[in-house]
Amino acid sequence: MIVFNLQCRNSHVFEAWFRDSASYDRQVGAGELVCPTCGSRKIEKALMAPHLGKSKKGEAAIPAAANKKAVMETQEAGEAMKALRGLREKIEKSCDYVGPNFAEEARKIHYGETDPRGIYGETSDQDAKALKDEGVSFGRVPWAPDRDS
Ligand SMILES: [Zn+2]
């Protein structure tokens, strides 16, 4: 036996037990399920987004909805990581890497002591603050980890 949370067209939610998932599909298909509150025969599983999971069998309503959310979050995290990697690749291609000398190089460029160019490197919070105080414009970006690390 399995239990489903069901919902009628008027948003009345109720529990119903079925021998198995196929039994639910058969009964709802045949219009045998009736809302105990209003008598509506327009019944579907509750707590699921419309058009999702209707054809899937053997899933209780609540765990299916929860699983869907977890997958979505994982995909979004993957997308964000991909975007960060893209950003990193662009910076690596178009800028000179100056390592820990970033603050020094940025100052030279700012004061015209060297050719203006894009650079990237590491800087401490202290140096970053000092640069900002001097009016040197730069950005700090989250750095995507290496693919294989
Ligand atoms: Zn109802």
- For 7-59, the pLDDT digits (tens) are 999 999 998 899 998 999 999 999 999 999 999 999 999 864 444 444 444 44
Q: What is the pLDDT of residue 147?
A: 65
Distance CA 130, CA 95 (A): 22
Distance CA 134, CA 126 (A): 13
Q: How far is the CA of 146 from the centre of ligand 1 (A)?
A: 54
Q: How far is the CA of 32 from the centre of ligand 1 (A)?
A: 14
Q: What is the pLDDT of residue 146?
A: 74
Residue 105 in contact with residue 119, Cβ under 8 Å? yes
Sorted by where each begins, the domain ranges of the chain are 2-69, 95-149
Residue 110's Cβ-count burial label (10 Å; 0-12, 13-18, 19+) is middle
Q: How far is the CA of 101 from the centre of ligand 1 (A)?
A: 69
- Average pLDDT in the chain: 78
Q: How far is the CA of 29 from the centre of ligand 1 (A)?
A: 17
